[in-house]
């Protein structure tokens, strides 16, 4: 067999797309909006998702929810991540609101979010406690969608209720295109170490693609996850917030490049949402971009209370000069 044919056989196929080695961005609420997706696409991200979107919000035509589904062509391949627990509503929004949209490549069900405000309604990772309900939801989504459907889930609700293999098999039986495992329980939130062994276990049990997620903070971490788990692809989370170059060569950003990146991110976010909203929203991004930069805490504190864009840019430029 020629090398080209062998590589073709090993390609990951999702819908009508093929990937030699998929490194994408996990959906993060309040982070992975259109502006951030453009930033990471430029740096080599192959596949990203919208922020988590409420199926009920889409169903009732909530304007804030609809804004979360804003996608521009420069973002590349984007999946819509939705959450909910009513199979009929999920089915209806897929058929009426998502199927016709050419800018949405795939639809992902969130069974992973541990946030109390999501879990208290039985959504997100609360569905780990209800495999039968999850099965009805996943079946309804696959039956309704003309796009690839995927599911992201955790190990289980807590250490006494580990059921990720059961959920994985439900997904496979329903016909989902791939699954993503964040190998912590809901009780753990993001504490402790991600259990990569469980990703490998899931990969060994299923015949559909399995994506890994959790504790990916460098290019080396990504390579280690591929080797350790034999997963078909990875979705980076918090690691991309500090260094978006993780999707490419993974090189660290100099202070000059960080300042340039922050300014560019501001301009993209302002273009989408206006200055008044963009300035407070950028604060959490700046905290990540400047994480680990020596002497940057006073700068972050000043930016957190500043609402004038020109003043923020001046503070960044002064800090850059002071560190030379």
Confidence of residue 9 (pLDDT cuts 50, 70, 90): low
Kindly report the average pLDDT of the chain as a whole number. Answer: 95
Give residue 249's pLDDT: 86
Cα distance between the two ends of the chain = 55
DSSP result, 69-136 = T---GGG-SEEEEEE-S-HHHHHHHIIIIITT-TT--EEEEEE----HHHHTTT-GGGGGG-HHHHHH
**Could you state, in order of their start, the residue ranges of all structural domains in the chain?**
3-247, 255-322
pLDDT tens by residue, 217-252: 999 999 999 999 999 999 999 999 999 999 998 899
Superfamily holding 3-247: Aldolase class I (3.20.20.70)
Indicate if the pLDDT at residue 296 is higher than 70: yes
Measured in whole angstroms, how far is the alpha carbon of residue 242 from the centre of its chain? 15
Catalytic positions are 113
pLDDT tens by residue, 257-277: 999 999 999 999 999 999 999
pLDDT tens by residue, 74-123: 999 999 999 999 999 999 999 999 999 999 999 999 999 999 999 999 99
Strand partners of residue 182: 154
CATH class of 255-322: mainly alpha
Torsion angles phi and psi, residue 261, rounded to 5: -65, -45
Tokens of residue 190, six digits: 């993001």
Average pLDDT rounded to a whole number, residues 190-214 = 96
Give residue 40's pLDDT: 98
pLDDT tens by residue, 128-167: 999 999 999 999 999 999 999 999 999 999 999 999 999 9
The model's pTM is 0.93
Indicate if the pLDDT at residue 3 is higher than 60: no
């Amino acid at each position: 067999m020629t090398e080209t044919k062998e590589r073709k056989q090993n390609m990951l196929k999702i819908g009508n797309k093929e990937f030699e080695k998929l490194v994408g961005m996990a959906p993060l609420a309040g982070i992975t909006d259109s502006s951030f997706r453009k930033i990471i696409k430029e740096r080599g991200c192959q596949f990203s998702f919208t922020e988590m979107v409420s199926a009920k919000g889409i169903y009732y035509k909530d304007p804030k929810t609809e804004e979360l589904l804003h996608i521009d062509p420069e973002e590349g391949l984007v999946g819509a991540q939705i959450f909910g627990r009513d199979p009929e509503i999920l089915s209806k929004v897929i058929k009426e609101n998502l199927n016709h949209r050419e800018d949405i490549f795939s639809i992902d069900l969130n069974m992973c979010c541990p946030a109390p405000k999501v879990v208290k309604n039985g959504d997100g990772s609360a569905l780990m406690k209800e495999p039968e309900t999850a099965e009805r939801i996943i079946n309804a989504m696959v039956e309704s969608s003309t796009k690839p459907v995927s599911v992201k889930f955790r190990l289980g609700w807590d250490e006494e209720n580990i059921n990720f293999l059961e959920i994985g098999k439900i997904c496979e039986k329903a016909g989902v295109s791939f699954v993503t495992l964040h190998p912590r329980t809901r009780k753990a939130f993001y504490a402790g170490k991600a259990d990569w062994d469980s990703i490998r276990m899931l990969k060994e049990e299923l015949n559909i693609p399995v994506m890994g997620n959790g504790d990916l903070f460098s290019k080396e971490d990504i390579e280690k996850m591929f080797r350790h788990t034999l997963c078909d692809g990875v979705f980076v989370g918090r690691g991309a917030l500090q260094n978006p170059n993780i999707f490419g060569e993974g090189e660290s950003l100099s202070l000059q490049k960080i300042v340039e990146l922050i300014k560019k991110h501001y301009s993209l976010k302002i273009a989408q949402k206006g200055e008044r909203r963009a300035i407070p929203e950028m604060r959490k991004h700046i905290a990540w971009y400047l994480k680990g930069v020596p002497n940057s805490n006073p700068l972050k504190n000043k930016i957190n209370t500043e609402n004038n864009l020109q003043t923020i840019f001046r503070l960044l430029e002064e800090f850059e000069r002071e560190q030379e």
